[in-house]
Amino acid sequence: RPRISNGRDYSSRVFTLRMNTFFTSISKRFKLTYAWALAHKVWSGVIIVIILLGGYAVYAHYKNAAAGTEYVIQQATRGTLASTVSGSGQVAANQTLELAPKSTGEVTYVGVKAGDVVTAGTVIARVDDTTAEESLRDAEASLTGAKITYQQAVTSSETSATKAEGDAFSSASTAVTDVSSALKDLDNTLFQISDIPGHQNQQGIDAFAGVVGGADGDSERSTIKAAYQKAQDSYEAALAAETGVSPTSSDSDIDAFASAAYAAATDAAAAVSATHTMMTAVNDKLTRSNNTIPASFTNQLSTIASDDTKMNSDVSSLFSAKSTLESSMATLNNSGSTPLDIQSAQLALTKAQNAVQDAETNLANYVVVAPFDGTIAKVDVQVHDQASGAVATLVTSGEYADLSLNEVDAAKVEDGQKAVLTFDAIDGLTIAGTISEIDSVGAVSNGVVTYDVKIAFDTQDARVKPGMTVDAVITTQSVADAIIVPSSAVTTVGGQSFVQVVTMGAPMMGTTTRFRNASTSSSTGAFNVSSTTQRTGFGASATQTVLASSVTVTRVPAQVGVENDTQTQIVSGISAGEFVVTSTKSGTAAATSATRTTTGGFGGGTRPAGGAAVFRAGG
């Protein structure tokens, strides 16, 4: 048995023994595993691959989760947006075109002969257009009548409104004058010294109250005084409203004056009526008491009675005039509606205008004109012949582009539209052209329908040879000063289009009302962009990538207009300068694939492959 010198020496020996045992066990397990792996090489390889893939999946998951969702945003810009159609073909020469009228009939004029050189727009022939001219004449006459009817309806409505304004002003002026007279009569009756027996040396209103006597007299006196003061205040307000107002003033000013006059007339009528009632009671009481009624009192009673009748009449007439004026205002101004007679006349006028346009278009179908410069190769008709097909053949000696378009693109192309032509064989050469002819019947090949389109060169170039390959870009629609966004920013659901607008947290590169709460750039903010980078690095339409968590996005309904392959016009819904979401990215891998690192004029940093700025939280 070994001697144990102390407890520490014993513990050390035990630990060493256990470690030796552990490593011996591990060594044995490793040797067994290695032996098994050598005996089962296929399974060993499978297990190793599974372990590596699983580890990478876990790593990628946490890496992408840390990166977060990102929005690719871009500012809406203002500019010219064109919708185009592209096609390829060959250069051809000696274009031949058979000219035929769109309407049949007797030929009444032939203006060319074989060999004549003509310019675009030259009249080649005319077909009898008597019926078409009669239709145009009748349509123009109907249009003239519709214009007169419409003007009469408008004038009648305006006349009614003018009459309503004049009546209201006149009634209001009369009422104010009558109120002034009635207040003077009330003042002379109520507040001058009375000569009623037993009440001499008293104001009229006190004398009247004394004759009536008791609580009734006191109550009527208080009522009349209050009514008189109210009428006086209303009268002064009416005088203020009348200042500067005339029959030619605006309907709102006249209405304000009429309203003030109506209030004054109503209050004056109440004061006069109360006074008239009290004086009638005084007259009856004096008569029953066989007291002598002074002549001055009798005259005052007659005057007040007349004022009572006059004020009631003013109130009635002013109410009617004021109501008529307000109805006229509501019809023509405030409600935004139009009287039915004007609506009916407007509809008839629109129909007449459309009929004239249709008649003019129909009349043009009887005239054959040269669509481009060229030479008349032959003339197929004479005067008095029946035109049922071609009347002449036109040939141009200059080159033209002959290409085929599919049925979708062909439906967008029309005669007279402009095109830009380029040539594979001649670098840098661009020629403008004009659509001169489109096949009316398509050719079917392997179930695909195509239409031949001829594009006349606006200018000729000696380097261009027949048979050369030509590429054409035809402008089918163009709108100037349009608000433009990438087409990827627009989604349509159930016929309604939407865009996602950054309403908070947008980069400070444009100023719109939606960006008033936009976060400013700083070294620690959502967009770590220096002011130098913002000034010189990017244009107003630069694409930017931002963390979804750093911005607020709102789905906004929008009306779209002209579109092309990459851009869409927004007619209403957003303003130029606002940021819209063009796509969404999840994880670093997706974001990295679309960017590259650059240095130099942009101050360094990360940019999309197309040269646009990329912003991420924290730089």
Three-class secondary structure assignment of 288-309: HCCCCCCHHHHHHHHHHHHHHH
- pLDDT tens column, 147-171: 887 776 665 565 566 777 778 888 8
Burial (0-12, 13-18, 19+ Cβ within 10 Å), 56: exposed
The DSSP 8-state label assigned to residue 163 in this structure reads H
Tell me the C-alpha distance between 125 and 368, whole Å: 5
pLDDT confidence of residue 599: 32
Q: What is the pTM of this model?
A: 0.36
Phi and psi for 267 in degrees, rounded to 5? -70, -40
SS3 call for 487: helix
pLDDT confidence of residue 334: 40
Tell me the C-alpha distance between 212 and 214, whole Å: 7
pLDDT confidence of residue 129: 87
Positive or negative: CA dihedral 435, 437, 440, 443: negative
422 DSSP β-pair partners: 430, 471
Phi-psi sector, 330: left (phi>0), alpha (psi -120 to 50), beta: alpha
Q: Are 127 and 109 in contact (CB under 8 A)?
A: no
Tell me the C-alpha distance between 593 and 191, whole Å: 99
Task: Please name the residue ranges forming H helices in 289-371.
Answer: 295-329, 340-364
Q: Which stretches in the chain have pLDDT values below 50?
A: 1, 4-5, 65-66, 334-337, 509-540, 588-619
- pLDDT tens column, 372-429: 788 888 999 899 888 888 889 888 777 889 999 999 999 989 988 999 999 999 999 9
Here the tokens at position 407 are 């049925």
Cβ partners under 8 Å of residue 261, min gap 6: 171, 172, 173, 175, 176, 179, 238, 241, 242, 318
Beta strand 490-493 with 426-438: parallel, antiparallel or unpaired? unpaired
E-strand stretches of 487-515: 490-493, 496-504
Instruction: State the helix-helix crossing angle for 130-190 and 204-212, rounded to 10 degrees.
Output: 70
pLDDT confidence of residue 15: 74
Here the tokens at position 302 are 């007659």
DSSP 207-235: HHHHHH-HHHHHHHHHHHHHHHHHHHHHH
Give the residue carrying structure tokens 């249709």.
358
